[in-house]
Amino acid sequence: MSLVKKFVTVGGATLGSRVLGFARETLMAAALGTGPMADAFYAAFRFPNLFRRLFAEGAFNAAFVPLFAKEIEAGGLDGAKRFSEEVFGVLFTVLFMLTVAMEFAMPLIVSWIIAPGFVGDAEKFDVTVKLAIVMFPYLMCMSLTAMLSGMLNSLHHYFAAAVAPVFLNFVLIGALGYGLWQGASPLETAWYLSWGVLAAGLLQMAVLYAGVRYAGMRIGFRRPRMTDNVRRLLWLALPAAVTGGITQINQLIGQMIASTKDGAIAALQYADRVYQLPLGVVGIAVGVVLLPELARALKSGHEREAGNLQNRSLEFVLFLTLPAAGALWVISDEIVRVLYERGAFSPQTTSVVAGTLAIYGLGLPGFVMIKALNPGFFAREDTKTPMRITLVSVVVNCILAVTLFPIFHERGIATAEAVSGWLTALMLFVTLARRGHWPLEKALLWRIVRLLIATFVMAVSLEYASGYLAGRLAHGSPIYEQVFALGLLVAFAMVVYFSVAFLIGGADLGMIRRNLKRKAKPEAAPAESSAE
């Protein structure tokens, strides 16, 4: 299967999840707006969700996948199965103990980490603690799910792992729909959502376990033992977890600071949901697929193929995220109005969320490039270098967030995260290039310049086009007119961008199709066929 087809498989499944996420957030905006219960729920959910991102997109994609692939090469499926059972026994035991400890310590965690600004509001603080207690076991479910996802990705079964998050959105949409149908209060709706999160975690874990069994591996529970393989995994996983969760870590820092302003946490969450669509579809797809592909190429000694994979992935990332960034900057108000402005979500809230979204959009290419650059380290079992880079980035984010929030509020938090994301991407790239691990092509650099030109032309055209449709997109227009007008703007932007990009040589369909296809060298054919 070509690399682009694997990207499309994972990206397509992620797109379905993100679209359902939009539906969920639209219902959430109508039911809760940016009121105190929205703040409480999002603050409580951020903590287990942080750990989910650390494990799912960090530690296990970075540490488990290369070691699992190595076990498959060395000992076949039996060796990989033994390794998986060793890891599962230790991981389950540690997570269970951590979950119990966190449940008892939740009031301290909320007051010190999750939302220090809630301490002065007794009701809001109490609700946040109780919701977090219900949702925290989601961490245990999703961490085990992350391990199962890593196994499936290494076995070339990408779809099941990518589609699993759909179940979270299905369950939460059901909870919101039930609350709206029953006329539930904001507090009751928050409780429905919290229990829904826990139920979704159990469901996702069950689906992934069934997927692993379908892929031909049946893992059981072994008594936890610190074997050499487990020690190696933990040695790699801790820094990888920090690195892979850079965006979530920065968002948690932003949430801590934003908790001092009513409605700020919810506003950041609504903006985050929109830019997570391209970030998830492109970034996660590239990160999930590239790591096992790159690890396999390096283990086989195919340095040229590894370099080609990295360059093609960067090209793919920028080809899709640069226009997304331009569009989010130009029509953020229109996007937020059409998606959210109804019920408890007012025009004033639209202005706040749209301004935040526009800044997140500028950081989007940087956020996604991190997903394409990290595998260059992880596939070589180097998780410490990106962790050091991440720590520098976190310090910069903290300084900027604390400095800018009193002046620009939510926009200040978004600015800090965007600058931090670009700084991380730049440092990762420079480090790889200096070590000779990224053979950058001059032709790729010229294509990037042309893609920037195409993005600029698209943004200017979109600014004028949005003016012509301003009446149909204005507050008070029928929702069907708003949706139709926004769809026209998106379609127009795509036509302009792709036309200019292909016309000036920023992209070529035949080139992209050929370059994204993995081709083994003749002398490597036996190894490739066995790996596949």
Say how far apart CA 167 and CA 200 lie, in whole Å.
6
**What global pTM score does this model have?**
0.66
Under the banding of pLDDT at 50, 70 and 90, the label for residue 530 is very low
Q: Which residues of 488-508 are buried (b: 16+ CB within 10 A; e: fewer)?
A: bbeebbeebbbebbeeeebbe
Under the banding of pLDDT at 50, 70 and 90, the label for residue 423 is very high
Mean pLDDT value across the chain:
77
pLDDT, mean of residues 221-248:
71
- Residue 466: the pLDDT is 85
Q: Which of 74-78, 148-152, 180-184 has the lowest mean pLDDT?
A: 74-78
pLDDT, mean of residues 403-408:
87
Say how far apart CA 331 and CA 347 lie, in whole Å.
15
pLDDT, mean of residues 236-249:
64
- Residue 454: the pLDDT is 92
pLDDT, mean of residues 101-115:
85
- State how far the alpha carbon of 171 is from the alpha carbons of 20, 167, 507, in Å: 10, 6, 40
- Residue 526: the pLDDT is 31
Q: What percent of the chain has pLDDT over 70?
A: 77
pLDDT, mean of residues 467-481:
77
- Residue 8: the pLDDT is 56
Q: Which residue has the higher pLDDT, 89 or 278?
A: 89
Say how far apart CA 147 and CA 294 lie, in whole Å.
19
pLDDT, mean of residues 365-392:
81
Token output for 479: 């929702």
- Residue 267: the pLDDT is 81
| Helix pair 122-135, 65-109: axis angle to 10 deg | 150
Say how far apart CA 227 and CA 266 lie, in whole Å.
44
CB 148 within 8 A of CB 111: no
Torsion, CA 71, CA 76, CA 77, CA 82, rounded to 10: -50
Asked if pLDDT for residue 2 goes beyond 60, the answer is: no
- Residue 455: the pLDDT is 92
- Residue 515: the pLDDT is 47
Token output for 303: 């340095």
Say how far apart CA 393 and CA 363 lie, in whole Å.
14
Asked if pLDDT for residue 59 goes beyond 60, the answer is: no
